[in-house]
């Protein structure tokens, strides 16, 4: 057991070695990241320099062409003025087109509002017709009730007159009133009171119906006023529509005039361009060869410089890739060492478990003895 303990590896030393390897790997990874960042910055900077050189050359060529264009005679000036006039006409046409689009949008909005007002007017008319029908039926019913009440009132009046005449005859004849006649008179008075109460209720109902009729008439008047307002708005919309059509006709006429003017200016521009081309043909033939040769020489020189720079960058990239390969090899070596240490630690743990089991067995044997 003591031999096993003496032969066991040093755990603290292994852990320290692992920490050193981890620190070394972290350092290598930082260096690798720094190399990659520097490589990317250098590559972008080199490409930016090359692109800036090419752009500068192109700008120089453009400036030369602009100088040649400024050296043109009055034909070139006429061409520039024609171009400016064409741009001005195009801007005016665009402004008029936007104005027409805005007018069309307003017209569509007005049509939509008109349809909404027409729909509301149709709803108001339907409601007015319905209320008129209800008023007619209510008036007919009221007329029937009034006729029935008048008939009942006439019958009650006749009965009251007969009773009064009968009472007068009884008083004149000095005959005492019998019990049945008194009872009949009391019933007639009760009937009269009930009839008066019914008449009062009917009068209240008729007054309520008259008030509803007045309200319906007010609503009808309000609907008529709204209908008149909608008709006025429709007339205003029709007037606006007519004005918009007139504006569209004027715009089409203006566009036609502008098109004719543009066609005339284009013809003048074509003539000016032909004159300029004819005027500059000989000068361009003389200057073109020398200019092209100079540009070819400059482009070849720039291409040689670019190829040289690319070769240097490729060498630098290859060196950095070699450094990256070495760093990756070191990382793999560290991983192998770490795996070996973990394997040794597993063996050590197994030995510890075996020692613990043997110790327990020895303690059990000692206790049994």
Provide the token pair at 28: 């290598």
Mean pLDDT of the chain: 73
Q: Rounded to an integer, what distance in angstroms lies between the CA atom of residue 52 and that of residue 297?
A: 18
Instruction: Name which residue leads in pLDDT, 147 or 352.
Output: 352
State how far the Cα of 82 lies from the Cα of 76, in Å rounded to an integer.
10
| Residue 34 confidence (pLDDT) above 70 | yes
Q: Is the dihedral of CA 147, 153, 155, 157 positive or negative?
A: negative
Pairwise pLDDT comparison (230 vs 54), residue with the higher score: 230
- Residues 112-156: tens digit of each pLDDT: 777 786 777 777 678 767 776 776 777 677 677 777 777 777 777
The stretches of the chain forming alpha helices (DSSP H) are 2-7, 11-70, 74-173, 179-368
Looking at the chain, the whole-number percentage of residues with pLDDT higher than 70 is 67
What ranges do the domains of the chain cover? Answer: 2-368
97 dihedral zone (left: phi>0; alpha: psi -120 to 50; beta): alpha
Q: For tokens 């004005």, name the residue.
A: 243
Q: Which of 123, 80, 110 is nearest to 238 (CA)?
A: 110
279 — pLDDT class (breaks 50, 70, 90): low
Predicted confidence band of residue 287 (pLDDT cuts 50, 70, 90): low
pLDDT tier, 283 (very low <50, low <70, confident <90, very high otherwise) = low
Contact 85, 267 (CB under 8 A): no
Tell me the pTM. 0.29
Q: What CA–CA distance (Å, rounded) separates 358 from 369?
A: 16
Q: Is 82 exposed, middle or buried (0-12, 13-18, 19+ CB in 10 A)?
A: buried
Element (H, E) at 177: none
- Write the DSSP string, 297-346: HHHHHHHHHHHHHHHHHHHHHHHHHHHHHHHHHHHHHHHHHHHHHHHHHH
Tell me the two tokens of residue 299.
């482009």
pLDDT mean over 97-119: 74
Report residue 117 as tokens.
């007002």
Q: Which of 148-152, 269-273, 336-340 has the highest mean pLDDT?
A: 336-340
Largest CA distance in the chain: 164
Coil, helix or strand for 178?
Answer: coil
Tell me if residue 1 falls in helix, strand or coil: coil
pLDDT band of residue 264 (cuts 50, 70, 90) is: confident
Share of the chain above pLDDT 90, in %: 0
């Amino acid at each position: 057991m003591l031999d096993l303990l003496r032969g066991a590896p040093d755990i603290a030393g292994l852990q320290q070695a692992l920490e050193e390897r981890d620190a070394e790997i972290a350092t290598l990874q930082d260096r690798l990241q720094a190399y990659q960042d520097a490589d990317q910055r250098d590559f972008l900077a080199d490409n930016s320099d090359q692109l800036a050189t090419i752009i500068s050359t192109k700008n120089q060529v453009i400036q030369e062409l602009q100088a040649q264009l400024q050296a043109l005679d009055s034909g070139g000036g006429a061409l520039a003025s024609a171009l400016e006039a064409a741009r001005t006409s195009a801007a005016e046409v665009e402004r008029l087109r936007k104005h027409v689009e805005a007018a069309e949008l307003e017209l569509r909005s007005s049509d939509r509002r008109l349809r909404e007002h027409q729909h509301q007017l149709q709803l108001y008319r339907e409601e007015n017709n319905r209320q008129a029908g209800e008023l007619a039926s209510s008036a007919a019913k009221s007329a029937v009730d009034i006729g029935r009440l008048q008939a009942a009132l006439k019958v009650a009046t006749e009965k009251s007159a007969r009773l009064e005449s009968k009472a007068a005859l009884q008083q004149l004849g000095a005959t005492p009133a019998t019990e049945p006649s008194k009872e009949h008179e009391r019933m007639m008075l009760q009937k009269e009171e009930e009839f008066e109460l019914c008449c009062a209720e009917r009068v209240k109902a008729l007054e309520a119906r008259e008030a509803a009729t007045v309200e319906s008439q007010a609503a009808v008047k309000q609907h008529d006023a709204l209908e008149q307002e909608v008709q006025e708005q429709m007339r205003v919309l029709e007037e606006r529509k007519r004005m918009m059509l007139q504006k569209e006709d004027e715009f089409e006429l203006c566009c036609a005039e502008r098109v004719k003017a543009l066609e005339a200016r284009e013809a003048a521009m074509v003539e000016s361009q032909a004159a300029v081309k004819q005027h500059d043909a000989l000068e361009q033939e003389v200057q073109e060869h020398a200019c092209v040769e100079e540009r070819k020489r400059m482009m070849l020189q720039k291409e040689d410089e670019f190829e040289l720079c690319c070769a240097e960058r490729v060498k630098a990239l290859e060196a950095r890739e070699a450094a990256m390969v070495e760093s990756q090899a070191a990382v793999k070596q560290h991983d192998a060492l770490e795996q070996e240490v973990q394997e040794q630690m597993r063996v050590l743990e197994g030995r510890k478990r075996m020692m613990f089991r043997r110790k327990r067995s020895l303690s059990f044997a000692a206790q049994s003895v």
